């Protein structure tokens, strides 16, 4: 008897054929699942998705880093902008603040940095320049650092800023304004002799570099495209200077800086000698100096023989002509903010034997940024007389007063001589009048009238002949 009676030896089922010659299957073994089973599975899936969504939202709200990972992966990077529900979260795309040649059209913001020390006399002039800027004022953020001042720079600065922001003309209002106080122990006096004396240059430049770095690090924002450094004692500059420099689209650019002089000193003079091209002589000199030494331009102690931007000026030259430079002067610098974000700063130490703005230029060149100057685009620094100039001016004033006194004395002497010694003709006229007066007086005394004396003389002469005739006639008759 076969072991499995329900199957044949060839593998076919042993179920007997039904009436229609088909195999029958028990209906209770292979029926479709009921509707409640499918509904239960669907609900489980919905619950799992809902819990995953809630978890993702919670993670996005609590962990911003998770947001940066998740949203770009699912093509939702647009939601990385400022969170409207959490105002303390900000997102910045630094690729949008690289700086361009026409930043005013793209509303690129500028951070204007101004270090101040004992600048009270210069603030009125400085704010008059600011009011004249043609770059949209609302796109310019102001940053001031007041340090080591002994005058009223800070209260006067605040007063000018309040008046500026309260101006009835809304186009005069600037953007964000920061006023920072920080002393650095600068002991060098602000007079020309001390400030520009050779002995004080190294320490002074290093301290100034610290001040610039403090100001920049405290005020540079992610939305700034440009940084403009400006001294407060610039006397004359075009109101379009920001656009003029920006149009060159360079990483760092500076104008030429001169200063006016009195006529007896030549009328004008190059001022900022810190913008220059490197020379082989200067490189050889740097190799001979100590590690902490700082080379400064314009002093006989360091003969660098560098081509200076200032000395290449042509008053009638094209103001757009560019010159590649290595050192940078600090009177007026326009730089792209990305330069500072990349790590370039003002070294407060000897960097390649330079510090502050000149070291800034050298560092930027080392990091492959473009650094140029405009030899024929000139702004004018305020003239500050040196001690020798003041002494010379005192001597000139004494000579002027002495000359005026001598001229006055000479004029008085001449006047007296004219009064005491009149001309001969005048004297003759006076003598003639005196003689005529004397004759007239004498005639009047002799007998009156103008014809009196002549009439009496005629009568005597007429009487004499009459007497003679009478005697002769008598003799003739006798005869």
Helical (H) or strand (E) element with 146: strand 140-146
Q: Are 221 and 141 in contact (CB under 8 A)?
A: yes
- Tens digit of pLDDT per residue, the chain (479 long)? 444 444 444 444 444 444 445 545 555 555 555 567 677 878 888 888 888 888 877 776 776 666 666 666 666 555 555 555 667 888 899 999 999 999 999 999 999 999 999 999 999 999 999 999 999 999 999 999 999 999 999 999 999 999 999 999 999 999 999 999 999 987 765 555 455 566 678 888 999 999 999 999 999 999 999 999 999 999 999 999 999 999 999 999 999 999 998 888 888 999 999 999 999 999 999 999 999 999 988 778 889 999 999 999 999 999 999 999 999 999 999 999 999 999 999 999 999 999 999 999 999 999 999 999 999 999 999 998 777 777 777 888 888 888 888 888 888 888 777 766 655 666 677 777 888 888 888 787 776 554 444 444 444 444 444 444 344 444 444 43
SS3 content of the chain, % helix, strand, coil (to 5): 45, 15, 40
Domain match, 401 and 450 both? no
Flag whether 19 is in a domain: no
Instruction: Tell me the C-alpha distance between 98 and 107, whole Å.
Output: 12
Could you tell me which of 121, 100, 153 has the C-alpha nearest to residue 334? 100
Domain match, 279 and 309 both? yes
pLDDT, residue 141, reads 98
pLDDT, residue 457, reads 44
Flag whether 164 is in a domain: yes
What is the CATH number for 335? 3.90.550.10
Domain match, 111 and 64 both? no
* Domains: count for the chain: 4
User: 397 φ, ψ to 5°?
Assistant: -65, -40
CA of residue 352 relative to chain centroid, distance: 28
Distances (CA, A) of 162 to 62, 159, 172, 174, 417: 41, 5, 12, 11, 67
Domain match, 319 and 368 both? yes
The tokens describing 377, both together, are 């685009």
Domain match, 232 and 337 both? yes
pLDDT, residue 8, reads 46
Q: Are 220 and 340 in contact (CB under 8 A)?
A: yes
- The three-class DSSP label of residue 229 is strand
Domain match, 375 and 289 both? yes
Domain match, 415 and 346 both? no
- The three-class DSSP label of residue 44 is helix
pTM of the model: 0.68
Helix (DSSP H) and strand (DSSP E) numbers for the chain: 13, 10
- Return the number of other C-beta atoms located less than 10 Å from residue 356's C-beta: 27
Buried b (16+ CB within 10 A) or exposed e, 150-185: eeebbebbeeebeebeeeeeeebebeebeeeeeebe
pLDDT, residue 450, reads 46
pLDDT, residue 74, reads 62
| Residue the block writes with tokens 């140029």 | 372
The tokens describing 420, both together, are 């005491």
Domain match, 320 and 433 both? no
Tell me which residue range forms the domain holding 163. 97-384
Domain match, 301 and 402 both? no
Flag whether 3 is in a domain: no
pLDDT, residue 191, reads 53
Domain match, 400 and 458 both? no
Domain match, 190 and 304 both? yes
Flag whether 182 is in a domain: yes
Of the three residues 384, 413, 436, the one that is the final residue of a domain is 384
Flag whether 5 is in a domain: no
Q: Are 334 and 244 in contact (CB under 8 A)?
A: no
pLDDT, residue 461, reads 44
Q: Are 276 and 283 in contact (CB under 8 A)?
A: no
Flag whether 241 is in a domain: yes
Torsion of the alpha carbons at 358, 363, 367 and 370, rounded to the nearest 10: -10
Flag whether 42 is in a domain: no
Domain match, 231 and 337 both? yes
Flag whether 209 is in a domain: yes
């Amino acid at each position: 008897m076969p072991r499995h009676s329900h199957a044949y030896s060839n593998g076919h089922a042993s179920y007997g054929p039904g009436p229609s010659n088909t195999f029958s299957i028990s209906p209770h073994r292979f029926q479709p699942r009921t509707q409640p089973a499918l509904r239960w599975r669907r609900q489980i899936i919905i619950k799992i998705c809902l819990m995953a969504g809630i978890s993702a939202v919670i993670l996005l709200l609590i962990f911003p880093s998770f947001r940066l990972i998740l949203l770009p992966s699912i093509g939702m990077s647009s939601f990385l902008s400022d969170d409207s529900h959490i105002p303390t979260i900000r997102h910045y795309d630094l690729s949008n603040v690289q700086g361009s040649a026409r930043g005013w059209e793209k509303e690129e913001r500028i951070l204007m940095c101004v270090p101040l020390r004992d600048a009270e006399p210069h603030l009125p002039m400085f704010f008059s320049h600011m009011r004249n800027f043609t770059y949209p004022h609302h796109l310019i953020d102001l940053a001031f650092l007041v340090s080591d001042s002994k005058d009223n720079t800070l209260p006067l600065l605040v007063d000018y800023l309040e008046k500026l922001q309260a101006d009835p003309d809304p186009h005069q209002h600037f953007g964000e304004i920061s006023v920072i106080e920080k002393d650095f122990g600068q002991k060098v006096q602000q007079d020309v002799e001390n400030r520009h004396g050779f002995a004080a240059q190294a320490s002074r430049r290093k301290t100034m570099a610290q001040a610039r770095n403090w100001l920049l690090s405290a005020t540079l924002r992610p939305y700034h495209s440009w940084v403009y450094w400006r001294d407060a004692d610039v006397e004359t500059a075009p109101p379009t200077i920001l656009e003029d420099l920006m149009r060159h689209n360079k990483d760092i650019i500076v104008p030429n800086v001169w200063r006016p002089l009195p006529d007896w000193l030549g009328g004008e003079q190059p001022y900022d000698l810190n913008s220059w091209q490197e020379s082989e002589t200067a490189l050889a000199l740097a190799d001979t100096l100590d590690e902490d030494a700082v080379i400064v331009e314009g002093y006989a102690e360091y003969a660098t023989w560098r081509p200076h931007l200032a000395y290449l000026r042509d008053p009638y030259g094209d103001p757009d002509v560019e010159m590649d430079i290595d050192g940078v002067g600090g009177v007026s610098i326009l730089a792209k903010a990305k330069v500072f974000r990349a790590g370039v700063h003002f070294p407060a130490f000897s960097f390649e034997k330079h510090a502050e703005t000149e070291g800034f230029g050298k560092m930027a060149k080392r990091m492959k940024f473009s650094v140029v100057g405009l030899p024929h685009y000139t702004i004018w620094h305020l003239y500050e007389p040196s001690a020798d100039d003041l002494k010379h001016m005192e001597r000139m004033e004494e000579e002027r007063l002495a000359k005026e006194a001598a001229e006055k004395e000479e004029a008085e002497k001449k006047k007296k001589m004219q009064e005491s010694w009149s001309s001969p003709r005048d004297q003759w006229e006076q003598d003639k009048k005196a003689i005529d007066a004397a004759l007239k007086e004498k005639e009047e005394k002799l007998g009156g009238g103008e014809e009196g004396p002549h009439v009496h003389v005629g009568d005597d002469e007429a009487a004499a002949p009459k007497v003679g005739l009478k005697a002769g006639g008598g003799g003739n008759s006798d005869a």
